[in-house]
Structure 1
Amino acid sequence: MNPLSNPVEKLRGKRYRNECPIHGRNTWIQYSNDPISKLPTMTGKLFSIDIFPRFALIIYRINILIFDIFIFLISAILEYARLIYRYFIPRERKSIEGLNALVTGAGNGIGRQLAIELARNGANIVCLDFLINENEETSAEIKKQFPNIKTWTVTCDVSSKKDVKLAIDVIKKSVGDIDILINNAGTLCCKPFVQHDFDQIERIISTNLLGQLWVLRAILPQMIARDTGYVVAMASFAGHAGVPNMVPYTASKFGIKGMMEALFIELRQGNRAHGIHLMTVSPFLVDTGMIKNRRVRFPDILDIETPERAAEVIISNMRQGNAIVFIPNILYYLMSIIRILPSRVQLLITDFLDSGIGVDYDQQ
């Protein structure tokens, strides 16, 4: 009797020579010992039992890996070509005329200039700050320079999630959807870490980092629903390199940088919100009056920027669709080079540049 006609249970673990329609004559047919399997395994003369399927799987995986590497290399080359092309031929600036922009920390400094610059480009402005008088002055300045631009003022402490929720509800009812979010509100304290008291540390982290998270969490869902919008997060050079005498501030700015990178990847992997543009801004030093004891060894390279000029650069880059902005721009290339160097060499470069923030003795 042909053993293949017997019940499968009696053939487990046994081998028979038979003709296979695929592999030809004299092909070994072995029934698996696995009680779940009811199908024979075909193996050639030169292969041990089950070796051929495993070998084929290995070859398949190698082919897939080679293909993926090829696609990666081609994509990387095309991306570098795109970057070079865009370096010489920047993207056209998109119009933001008629869009609603929310600027946190609009009461003074770079926040005020960002609100004015947005209004200059035709956007309606919602000025948000916990400083009531300063916030009203920003709104009045916008109305004076640009009478046709709509402005609103909202009093809010961004470090309080309760205040943020109430403020965003008011904005939704009185203004409508926000098209542009400028997460700018921040504070700092310039002195050694051990001289910061616990309340100062909590205030810096709550305002700079949690404040951006609260506002972003409240605004982003409506942008995702409409698949459009701009989110600009004000980080700092301190978000890329440790700055002495500003340890809590540096921690908050590193957090902002990580927040924006993670959000970008999350939206990209989710294959949604392609119309939402994220941009992280990292200024070196901007003359806002918050830093009183600063030093710069090479002012021609790392100059102290004015709030007006910084705001112009930020809004221009936002309209061009850039994702990362350093002020001045040379910091982008400097940081890219420094990151690949050994840590001790990085310290030597820091010593050579001799630029940073000194202790503000008024804050002792």
Structure 2
Amino acid sequence: MDLINNTLSVLPSSLYLLMQRVLNGFYSIFAYVFQSKLKTIHDDVILITGGGRGLGRRLALHFAKFQPKHIILWGRNKGPLQQTAADVESLGVSCSFQVCDVSKREDVNVNFQHAVQSIGDITILVNNAGVVYGNLLLEGTDSEIENTFGVNTMAHLWTVKAVMPSMMANNRGHILCMSSMLGLMGLKRTASYTAAKHAVTAMMEGLRQEIVDHPGIHITLVHPYIIASEMFAGCQVRFPRLFPALSEDYVAEKSVHAVLKNKKQILLPWIMNVLIFVRSITPVKVLLPILKFLGVDRTMDTLHQER
């Protein structure tokens, strides 16, 4: 019996890795054949929320490689913002920061007006700020749930409403929305987080249809798998070699590249496109045992705990 169980546990991993290599090969060939030119951002002013640390910091540094006109960083803590701004400027790019709680509408509006008056119109908005608690729905406090939606959903509404008038007037702009694979599916211990991410995914898809008469405005939705970051520290999967966490640099590089290519949506890694498709055609009563076997139901059990 142990031999059978061990064989069954290895078989899905082997098949997945084989499929991943085959599909990545096809994707690389397709990307090479149909590659398009990267757009320049030398005249762009970029605003990055949650830009002081983690993925936001990496996004700022990767954008800086393409020499934009200016990068503005928003975050709650001055120290990390100041350090990231200095690192961006060391790459030869003008950079400033503002302490801003993006979950608060007035805070967003006041800082936005100040940024526009001192720097100019925001032409690339990067909604990156996020928060996750990893509690069962009945365990989470009301304030945690409100903050989850405030940072992960409402902040997108406030920032988009702030930048859209000038973007529409000039028929120019780009909004990069850092969503999540959990903006496309659910996971135990993330009910409020997944609800917030699903909401912002739907919001951006709706916004896409509102700007069809403004072809100079682009929206990019990024749905990454678990990122090896402070935000998701402690997350564990049953088969880490099968589903390794993504590095912040990888996600930042792919996200910036998607903006420069005007891509509408990317899932990271690419194989997640296949998994989402398979999930969409698999009956729930079949899907749940598969997820349990893969240990997905326990992924968030150790979130933010000592490893």
TM-score, length basis structure 1: 0.72
1:100-124 Cα shifts (integer Å, max 9, x gaps)? 1100000110000001111111112
Asked if the contact 1:279/1:318 (under 8 Å) is kept, the reply is: yes
Q: Who wins on radius of gyration, i.e. which is larger?
A: 1
Partner of 2:55: 110
Please say if 1:119 is aligned against 2:52.
no
Instruction: Indicate which of 196, 204, 210 corresponds to 2:140.
Output: 196
TM-score by length of 2: 0.85
2:82 counterpart (92, 117, 136): 136
RMSD over equivalenced CA pairs, Å:
1.9
1:313-343 deviations in whole A, cap 9, x for unaligned?
Answer: 1101111121111111111121022112222
- Do 1:302 and 1:328's aligned partners in 2 also have CA atoms closer than 8 Å? no
Residues 235 and 303, structure 2, Cα contact 8 Å, conserved in 1: no
Structure 2 equivalent of residue 245 of structure 1: 189
**Secondary structure of 1:242's match?**
coil
Distance apart, 1:301 and its partner CA: 4.2
Q: Which runs of 5+ in 2 are unaligned?
A: 1-28
C-alpha separation in 1, matches of 2:115 and 2:268: 31
Name the residue aligned to 1:357. Answer: 300
Which position in structure 2 is the counterpart of 1:345? Answer: 286
Contact 1:104-1:111 within 8 A present in 2 as well: yes
Give the letter for the 1:334 counterpart. L
Question: Which of structures 1 and 2 has the larger relative contact order (alpha carbons within 8 angstroms, sep 6+)?
Answer: 2
- Quick one: distance in 2 between partners of 1:361 and 1:228? 40
Residue 305 of structure 1 aligns to a residue whose secondary structure is coil
SS in structure 2 opposite 1:195?
coil
Code of the residue aligned with 2:107 in structure 1: it is D
Deviation of the 1:191 alpha carbon: 1.9
User: Match of 2:279, SS?
Assistant: helix
Cα distance between partner residues in 1 of 2:56 and 2:133: 18
Partner of 1:156 in structure 2? 100
Report the count of equivalent residues: 275
CA apart distance, 1:171: 0.8
Please state if 1:266 is matched with 2:210: yes
Q: Distance in 1 between matches of 2:33 and 2:281?
A: 26
Q: The residue matched to 1:277 in structure 2 has which SS?
A: strand
1:222 aligns with 2:166: yes
State the SS of the aligned residue for 1:95. coil
Identity of aligned residues (%): 28
Q: AA paired with 2:161? A: R
